[in-house]
Amino acid sequence: MNIRRIIDRLTPPALAWWLGRAARERRELAMFGQFYREFLAPGDLCFDIGANLGNRTRCFRELGCEVVAVEPQAKCFKKLRESFGGDGHIRLVQAAVGRQPGHAALQVSPDHVLSTLSQSFIDGTNRSGRFASARWDRMEEVEVTTLDRLIAQFGMPRFVKIDVEGYESEVLAGLTCAVPALSIEWIPELPDNARRCLRHLAELGGYEFNLSWGESMRFARPQWRTLQSMLVVIDEFEGEPQLFGDIYARLKPGEKL
């Protein structure tokens, strides 16, 4: 019997599970970190919009970045504070992000990653069956800020990650200046949400686009796409309930902020 099998037999199941989880988290951090180095370097400022429990926040911090983590859900924000409250390089903001400041009713799901301000997200994923067993069973009043306000408060980020369950176009509607790079979550059930995002970005600056399917953390194509090319992709996969991903946008070389 080799030493590895002896160790496995002697390790209590709970400890084995914890060790396995820790190993998976290290691999995930390494994969995410390698990908995000395309956009970020140590000392850069980035925004994590829809931080949830902070897996991307942790990744950005591992890269040596200054992070503004924005999350409206009370339970998730409590976890963020427990995980990152003592880190002076992470600023935590309990709020949603939208087109204008104020307050809104967040539809909260027991599966916290599905909580949303977008009724279209709920309707679209119910029709497609993507989240057939999901439910949104309570409302939570949340403060709403804007990307413009966050930039005024914390400075211009090098990268903005936006993952807000179908509310991405409303988040970008509160941005009136170009940022160097960003990502938006995309599901094919909500093509108009993605189209509005891309067209708004094109009005702000000279952006080019790419796509990463699922959680692959790899670009779908080595060449970055034009606005029209990316819109064709959205048209092609409209309504497809088995796919999802993130659309990435970056200012073309030579574009000024």
- Answer whether 255's CB lies under 8 Å from 178's CB: yes
pLDDT tens, residue by residue, 73-111: 999 999 999 999 999 999 999 999 999 999 999 999 999
Please state the pTM of the whole predicted model. 0.89
Residue 97: how many other CB atoms lie within 10 Å: 30
Name residue 186's beta-bridge partners.
Answer: 245
- pLDDT < 50 positions in the chain: 1, 7, 15-19, 21
What is the pLDDT at residue 156? 98
For residue 150, the model assigns a pLDDT of 98
Q: Domains (ranges, CATH) in the chain?
A: 45-251 (3.40.50.150)
pLDDT of amino acid 23: 58
